Structure formats: C-alpha cells, structure tokens
Structure 1
C-alpha cells in the first residue's frame, strides 16, 4: 500500500518509493531509509511530500508491516505451476503467431479474437505475475517476438490497471502490446536473430520495424488509433532521442509512454543472444536513472505492481 506523507514525517525503517523533487537534489528511490544522512538530504530537498510503501517498511508510528502466513511450500507444486504457465504461454504464442502472420499475409483481422486473447493473457499475468516473468525471460529463437509481445501485453495490462484505467482501455492496451512488434515480421530473420553486433545498415533495417508495422496495421480500419500509435511510437522517449519520429514528451500520450516503459523493461529482463537477463531491480533502477527517457512515476508504479507479487 502506497501513502504520501509530509517530508518531515519520514523516519528510519520506512520504505521510500519516491521523493517529489528533482533527481539532482535527491536521486535515490525504492529503498529502506536507514541513515541520518538520507533523512537530512530529504529534509533539505525542495520536496514537500514523500511516497512510502507500507507493505515494505514501517508506518508513521514505526510499526512494521504485518507478516502474512507463509503458504506451505511444495517443490512439486511449484514445478507443476511453472510448467502449466509455460505451456499456456507457448500455446498463446502459437495463436498470436497465427494471427499476426495472417495480417502480414493480407488476410482479414478478427479484433474480437485478439481482444479475447489479450483478456486471457492479462488474467494469466494478473494471477501468476512472478511465474510469467520467469518463464518468459528465456525465449527460443522461433518464438522470441511472440513471447516478448505477450509479456509486454501482460505488463501493460498490469500497469494500466494499477493506473485505474477502465476495463475497455486495459483491454485495448493488452491488444496493442500483442501487436506492437508486428513490424518485426517484415525484417529478415538473419538480421532479427543475429547473435553478434549489427552493422549500420542492419541497424537501420531493425529500426524500420515500428513504421513498417504501423503502415501495415493502418490498412485495417477496425484497429483503434491507440494500437496504431503504440505500434509506431513504442521506441520514442521523452527527450526526443527515440525513433522513428523523434517525438518529445509533450507529443507522447500516456498509453505510448506506458508501452515504452513495459517494452524496455521486458527487453532488459530477457535473455538475448548478446546479453544475460537483468533482474527486475536492475532493470527498474536503470530505467529510473534515465528520466530523460522514461516517466519516473510510471517506472515506480511498475515496480510497485511487480513487488506486490
């Protein structure tokens, strides 16, 4: 549970989600407050409020969060649950692959089927977030794009719900997450799956996928505008250094910013041929340290959603 308090009410043992001031004044986030130096720095900042997490630290009276009774551990049960989730993800990836390939091939699009798939995927991530994160980190080469898209869709659904968007908005964002990388199906596999460094020409080809996907999807008038925007703009960042259009924060809608946060987080926490998977904490810290790219409040909210699991 998150709570905003006046900065002069902070005390040791509180879990600080954020301090409402510029990062150069106080850069730390998501940590347990332990030192007088940090308290002094918070009090000296221009912030008037601090956001604390009552589930992870003491409250205003110094009380620790109530410990929940630990459920009985079952290694066999855990393994069975992971296998079940993995099987569901792979089946969903197969269905998504078929749907996206149909679009690329010029066949008709069934938005109601994609909406149902997004609902099912959203429920899986809501019910089994930690397991879904784990089983989607390692992707076989033939399903990388589809499992990545399912994971981004699930994360977008979780984050949208936490931002109290209505059910229809959440559903559309789930669909957008599933379709955001359709342009990659137009990229040659030898470039898309290349394990080594890309050449400059190959990098240009890879960076063409958002625009290529957008141009493909906009031929289907039944696709909502927000889905088109997310397909085209999910690699844009707040300072205008993203692609393909180099838009700045004022021109990036909340859904587009949300998709960028979830897309980058999923990429950082996945195994790729050229890198190991980062932990959730490492990815969130890296993103939080780049306020010129990502909305810090959204990064914090994603961290809160994942820490609740």
Structure 2
C-alpha cells in the first residue's frame, strides 16, 4: 500500500479530452511538473517578476525557480493549511507572482478570493486538486504534476490564458518513459506476487532513478503513452472512489482526532488523508514492515511538515486495506484502543 501507482481497471472504452473542465485557451502537457515550473521560471525571469512561495513545499517544486535565479520570498502556511494573508496584504504586488498550492486536494478559499483582487500574478499548483471540482479560472496560470493522482509514468501540465506566455519544450526522445514503466512492473512483481528477492526491489530502484534522470528538469512533452492513458482514464469514477475512501477514514474516531481536515466539502476530491502524528518518521519506517509505504508530503522548514502523515486513499484500495492501515498506524505508534 502507498507504493508506485499501478495501472488499474479505472478506464473507459472511449477516448476523452482530459481536463476539459479547466477553462483555459492554452493547455500544454509536459513530461513532469518540474518541467512546467521550469517554463514558469523562464517566464518570470524574462518579465522580471519575483515570486512569493509558500513555506510548506516540495524541494522539487522550488529548484527550477532557484536555478533560474528568480527572486523568491516566502509566506507562511499555518497549521490548518491556510495562508498568512495578513502578511501578504502588506507586501508589494507589482511585478510579483503568488504561488498557491491546493494541499492534498483542498483549497484555501480565503487565499483564492484574496488572489483575485490582490494585483499579484497568480500561479496555482493543482497537483493535488486536479480531480476537485473547483473554479480555477481566476488564476493566471495553473500547473502541476500528473503523477500524484494518476497511474501515468510521466506527466505535467501548464494551462494559461496569458498571450505573452512563451512555451518552451524540447522535442526529445520519448524513451525515458520506458524506464519508469519498467520500474512500475518490477514493483508490481515484488508486491503483488510476493517475491521477496531483493533483486526486484533493486531493479525497481534502478529503473526508477534512470527514469527520473531521463525526465530531468528541462521542459519536454509528455510521452504519448501517458497521454493516451489519460484519454481513457475514468476521472469521475476515480473521484467517487477517492471520496468514499476518505470518508471511510473520516468515520474512524481514532483517525478523526488526528485529521487535518475534519470534513469533506462536496467539490473536493482528495489526494490523500493527512493526519498529524508524533514521531512521524519512526512510524513511517515501522509501517514498511507491513508493506505500507507512506510518502512524506513534504520535508521543509515549516515546522508542521515534521508531523504530517499522508494515508493513501487511492482508488485501488478497499475498505479492508484502509482499516488495516489504521490498525497498523495505531499499533506502531503505541496508541491504545479507545474505550
């Protein structure tokens, strides 16, 4: 549980146009979210924009901006995953971009409303909220990675209505996706067929690393393999199952007490179920003994990042899987059953 996203049964028989609910005139698909952010960095640098970035972030998101020497300042994300808007109201808006993240599929409604009238160039990272039914049209640019929600081997997006946004993509060979696909297959052999040999784990790590090196940071087009998967992926069915899985965990009294979000708005399709827990890294390590591999989203300077554990709620998982993960979290954390 919580490992590589595997190709599953959530596919339609007919082709569809992915992300048609995003009302933007210019839609571009990249091999990664990093590539999309790299293109953003080119645009900001060329037009002499600085950017305010949330202090709860993934290092992979931050690196392309830093590499292009874009001036970066941080604004604080509070423990409830809302922004410190009081601070943002005081800063200079001219030639300044505001980077907004929809954490775990939820949106900070006050921040979105503020961004509409603030004078910032608004950039919204929708990596976790691609399935949520939000109105994204108020943002100048939306971007993100596709690999956090979908079982694709590569993929990122950048959508905008800005006519002066220059798209930069290299027409590179697509063979990089083969390594990522092989990594998924070796991982599935190791987990599904119960082969305990370290050989399969080593092969998974080797091909995964090679695939990431092939994708890199430079903007390049998404592979046709992943784009075709998106065209037949059943977004609606997946959204329904993810919401169902989130509510299963939400109905558990032990998890509810630790939950960051204690309700599920009707427009939200969550990426995971974040909880606040002490000794997070130790618990994560112990869970691996039970084949529960929980990702860390993310390690950064914001103190809340040290205690967030994201329980996977992917559409592949059953109620039994979810309750088993709760039991194991409770066991390895030393928490006792409630009376």
Fold match (TM-score > 0.5):
no
Name the structure with the higher strand share: 2
TM normalised by structure 1 equals 0.30
Task: Give me the TM-score of the superposition, normalised by structure 2.
Answer: 0.28
